[in-house]
Amino acid sequence: MLNHFNKALLLTMLSSASVAYAQRVTEDFNKDWKFFQPRNETFNFNFDNGQDFKPSNIDLWESVTLPHTFNKDDMQRDNNFYTGNVLYQKKFTVSDAQKSKRTFLKFEGVGSVAKLYINNKFIGEHKGGYSQFAYEITNSVNYGKENVLTVIANNQARKDVIPVNQFLFPIYGGIYRPVSMITTNKTNFVVTDYAAPGIFVSQKNVSSKSADIEIKAKLETTEKTIQNAVLESSVINKEGKTVAVVKSPVNISPQGTTYVTQDINLKNPHLWDGVRDPYLYTVSSKIIVNGTDTDVLKQNLGVRTVEVIPGKGFFLNGKHYPMHGVSRHQDEWGYGSALSYEQHKRDMDLMKEMGVTTIRLAHYQQAPQMYELADQYGFLVWAEIPFVNAVSYQENDNAKQQMTELVKQNYNHPSIYIWGVHNEVYSKTKDEQVPVLSRQLSDIAKTIDPYRMTGAVNGYNQVDRPENLTTDIQGINHYFGWYGGKIGDLENWAQGLEKNFAQYKVILTEYGADGNMDIGAEEVKQPADVVSGKSFPENYQTETHIQQWAIIEKHPQIAASYVWNMFEFAVPMWNRGGINARNLKGLITFDRKRKKDSFYWYKANWNPEPMLYLANRRDNMRKNPVSKIQVFSNLKDVKIIVNGKEYQAKNGVNAKHWVIENAQLQKGTNTIKAIGKSGRKELTDEMTWTLE
C-alpha cells in the first residue's frame, strides 16, 4: 500500500514525465537489433529495387546490441578483413499518441556509408563514417503497428568518401556508435541541420569582468499556422542558479526555417580555464507557445579566450597555458571502434593521470562523448576531418560535407580550439587539389564559426610547402630519428623555426617512435628498417621521448606538441615491429592494460603529483657490468641503490630526468632501488636486472 508520501512522489514523477514527454524525448535505440553479414561477395540485398530482403536461412541473423562493428577481430589481426555491405534491422512500434508529434532517428556514427529504409521505403543515405546524421521518419512509420528499420552499412574504401583508403588506420564497419529516437512537438528546434544541436552558442569580448554571449537558434513548425512563440534562453551556473535570461518574441512560420539571434551580457563570468578550472555553465533554450514549453535544449557553455602568440606559445584567458599534448585513435583491442562511454572515459582518465592538457582527436570526428568529456576535464581539443594520407580528386563534396558536420555538431564545446582541415596530403604547386580544397574547407569552418582557428597538417618539416599556409595554424608531423635523421635533429628544426618563421604559428602535431614492450634491449639503437622491420625495442621509443620533450619544452616557437600516440592502434596493412597490424607508437598498449616507460616520462614532466619511476625495467637481461640507470621523477632529490650500494643521481636532459652513468652490476640478479622524498613521505621504486 502506498503511503501519502509515496503517492505524492509517484504523482510528481508521473507529472514530470508527462511534462518531459510534452517537450523533447530522446530514447535509447540500441537494443534488439538483427545483423546479417553475407558469406560471399555476390550476395545481392535488392533494396535499391524496392524489394523486401529476407535471408533464406534465418540462422544467418545475429542478435546484436549497439554499438557494434563486424571488424573487431579481422581488422586487428592482418589485412585479410571484410569490407562491403552488411545489414542491420530493428523492429519497433510508435504509439498512436505520437501522431501529433515529430519523430527522428539520430545516428552517431556508421562505417562508412549508410542507407536507411523504413518499412522498405528509402529514407536517405549518409556518406562518412565518423560524423552524426539525423533523418525524420514522422511520415514513414505506421503508428500503433510494428515497423522495420533497415540499415545497409558499407565500409569499403571509395574515392568519393574520405578517408579514401585504409592505409593509416582501419575504416571499421557497422553501426559502431549509439542510435537514438528523438520525439518532438510540431514546433521545435531543428534536428536535421547536419545533426547539429539546434542552437549555436558564441562568445565575444570575454574577460573576467564581462562576456557577450550570442545564441543563434533555428526553429521550425509543421503546424498549419504561424506559431506566435517566445524563445527564452537562460544561463545557469554550476550550482544550478540562473544568472542571466533573455526572452524574444518570434513568429515561427510553417514555411522554411525561422532564425533567431539573442544576446546576453554575462557579468563577472567564472571562466573555463582548461585543466586548471574547467568551469561549465549551461545554456538552456526553450520555445514557449501559449504559455507551454514545446521544446527545450541544453548545451555546455565554457567562457574563455584562446590565443597563440608566435614565439611565446598558448594563452588561455590571457595566461600562459602548457600544451601537454597527445593524439588519440578511437579503437581498442577486442572492441574495434565500438566503444562504450565507460571506455571513452577510461581513456580520458589515463590522459589525466599522465598530465595531459590538450588532445588531438585524430584523424576524424570522434564520438560526441569525447568532446563532452573534454569540456568536463578541461582538455583543449584539436578536432579534424579525415582528409588524410591520399588524394583521389573525387573527395571534394564529401570533404566539405564532413567539415560542415564537424563544425556544426561540435560548435558548442568550449574544449575545441581549432578545426583541422587535412593531414599529410600533398601537392606540387599551390594551384592543385590540396591547397585549393584546404582553403575552401577552412573557409567553411570560418564562415560557420569565425571565433576559432583552423589548422592544416603536413608530414614534412617544411613550413612553407605548397600545400601549407592555407589555415591559421600550420601543423607539422615529423618523426626525427624514426622516419629520417636522428633523434636530436629536432633541435636544429626548432632553431630553424625561430630563425625563419618567427611570426608563424606552428605546432608539432605528431612525433615519436614505435616501441614493443615485449622486446627488451640493453643497447639503445635506432632500428635500421622502420617500415618492414620486425624488432622495435621499447628502449628506443623511450630515448626518443626523453630527448625530444626536453627539446620541445625549451622552444616556445613550437606553440604546442602532440605525442603520436596515446594508445597503440590497429593498422591492418602493416606488419612491423613484432606485432602484425599494429602501430606501436602508443604510450599504452592496445588493450589499455600496460603503460610503457614513456608514459611515466611524461607523467613526471606533466603531472605535478609526486612520482618516481625506474625506467628500462624490461631491458633486464644485461651483458655489460657497467650500466646506465634512469629514473623519471618530479622530486627534488633522488638516490639510486644498486645491490646495497648508494649512488647520488644527477639530472640528465632536464630536472625530471635522473641518471647514474656507471652503475656496477654483479653476475646474476641485481636489485635496483630508487628513493626520493616528497615532504615527509618517502617514495620508492624497485626492479631487477640479470647480468649474464
Please list the active-site residues.
424
Cβ(330)–Cβ(366) below 8 Å = yes
What DSSP letter does each residue of 632-678 carry, written as one string? Answer: EE-SS-EEEEETTEEEE-EE-SSTTEEEEEEEEP-SEEEEEEEEEEE
Q: Distance from CA of residue 462 to its chain's centroid?
A: 27
Cis peptide bond prior to 363, omega within 30° of 0: yes
Identify the CA nearest to 269 among candidates 229, 238, 311: 238
Which long-range CB contacts under 8 A does 486-492 form with residues at least 24 apart?
486/526, 487/526, 487/543, 487/544, 487/547, 487/548, 488/547, 488/551, 490/547, 490/548, 490/551, 490/552, 491/551
Question: Around Cβ 200, how many Cβ atoms within 10 Å?
Answer: 20
What DSSP letter does each residue of 11-78 carry, written as one string? Answer: HHHHHHHHHHHHS-EEEE--SSEEEE--SSTT----GGGT-----S-GGG-EEE-SS--TTTTGGGT-
φ/ψ of residue 248, rounded to 5: -130, 120
d(CA 690, CA 451): 58
Alpha helices in 450-609 (DSSP H): 489-500, 538-552, 597-606
φ/ψ of residue 507, rounded to 5: -125, 135
Cβ(62)–Cβ(216) below 8 Å = no
d(CA 90, CA 146): 10
Question: What residues does 111 pair with on adjacent strands?
Answer: 174
Question: What residues does 247 pair with on adjacent strands?
Answer: 232
Cβ(413)–Cβ(370) below 8 Å = no
Max CA distance (Å), the chain = 91
Q: Where do the DSSP E strands lie in 199-254?
A: 199-204, 210-221, 227-236, 242-252
The C-alpha cell 618516481 sits at: 612
- DSSP-derived letter for residue 346 is H
Tell whether the torsion through CA atoms of 429, 430, 436 and 437 is positive or negative.
positive
Question: Around Cβ 48, how many Cβ atoms within 10 Å?
Answer: 11
- What one-letter code names the amino acid at 356? V
Write out the H or E segment, with its range, that includes residue 398. Answer: helix 396-410
Residue 573 φ/ψ region, left for φ over 0, alpha for ψ in the -120 to 50 degree band, beta for the rest:
alpha
Cβ(594)–Cβ(662) below 8 Å = no
Cβ(508)–Cβ(552) below 8 Å = yes
Cis peptide bond prior to 67, omega within 30° of 0: yes
Cβ(26)–Cβ(181) below 8 Å = yes
- What one-letter code names the amino acid at 160? D
Cβ(454)–Cβ(486) below 8 Å = no
The C-alpha cell 536535421 sits at: 192
